[in-house]
Amino acid sequence: MLSIDLRDKVCLVTGGNRGIGLQIGRTLAQAGATVVLTARTTDGLNQIADAAQAVTAPGSITGLPCDVTDAASVKSLFQSLHQTYGRLDAMVANAGILQDALVGMATEEQISQTLAVNTAGVLRCCQYASRLMARHKSGSIVLMSSVVGRTGNAGQSVYAGSKAAVIGIGKSLAQELGPQGIRVNVIAPGLIDTDMTRNLPPDKRQAFLDHVALGRSGTTQEVANLAVFLVSDLAGYVTGQVIGVDGGK
């Protein structure tokens, strides 16, 4: 049987204090990885610390502060990774925000915040991650987009645009970084059962599910399973791909 063993891997997950990011971190640790999760707030870091204490797998979880919209904060994160571990084998760029608004009602603050986190933040982290990975001529970068980055959705033009940009970033970086042994892939989740989506109005949630072939929302574990596969050597010839975890949206 095939198995995933990440005991020699140092893995970074941004936005790792809850939901999809936290589940990816836990699953990486279960596979043996040394995992660093980031959070922007003290409360977020406390959530990561609680998760770290619950890890009984061969791997480990550590929390570090990072605001992906702040260039100095991102630089400090990667300096800490280099000083502590001397390498980075994988990064899952998961940090993101969702602010729905009709295009005519979207505020300047909503536009700038969404692009700063979901697009510029991803680029910033990829810059530093690729430099660390290039030292060892290997690595895997996984970017988190969204099903609406591929299909669009009324009332989400700002969010969809930011996530569509992530797809373009991933495909471009796969070509740019491939010669250095670095793979880059994109995950596009659909409606995943998280704290954020549980607060959707029932009619809006059902309207989305009406177009999902499997007729249900996904789980954070189902997204994490794909992320761990893409990080692992089992995906050694997989790069430049956009893979949906969307139930057939």
Q: Which residues are catalytic?
A: 159
Specify if 199 maps to a domain.
no
What are the two backbone dihedrals, phi and then psi, of residue 9, each rounded to the nearest 5 degrees? -110, 135
The pLDDT value given to residue 132: 97
The model's pLDDT over 172-209, given as tens digits with 9 standing for 90+, comes to: 999 999 999 999 999 999 999 987 777 777 888 888 88
Weakest-pLDDT range from 27-36, 44-53, 60-69, 195-204: 195-204
Question: What percent of the chain is modeled with pLDDT above 90?
Answer: 86
The model's pLDDT over 68-84, given as tens digits with 9 standing for 90+, comes to: 999 999 999 999 999 99
Domain with 45 in it: what CATH number?
A: 3.40.50.720
Question: What percent of the chain is modeled with pLDDT above 70?
Answer: 100
Specify if 39 maps to a domain.
yes
Identify the domain containing residue 107 by its residue range. Answer: 10-192+220-242
Q: What total number of domains does the chain contain?
A: 1
pTM: 0.95
**Cβ pair 67, 73 in contact under 8 A:** yes
- pLDDT averaged over the chain? 95
Rounded to the nearest angstrom, the gap between the alpha carbon of residue 128 and the centroid of all alpha carbons in its chain is 16
Specify if 204 maps to a domain.
no
The pLDDT value given to residue 154: 87
Specify if 84 maps to a domain.
yes
Specify if 120 maps to a domain.
yes
- In sequence order, the 6+-apart residues with CB closer than 8 A to the CB of 227 are 24, 27, 28, 92, 142, 187
Across the beta sheet with 139-144, the strand order is: 60-65, 34-39, 10-13, 90-93, 139-144, 182-189, 242-245
Specify if 202 maps to a domain.
no
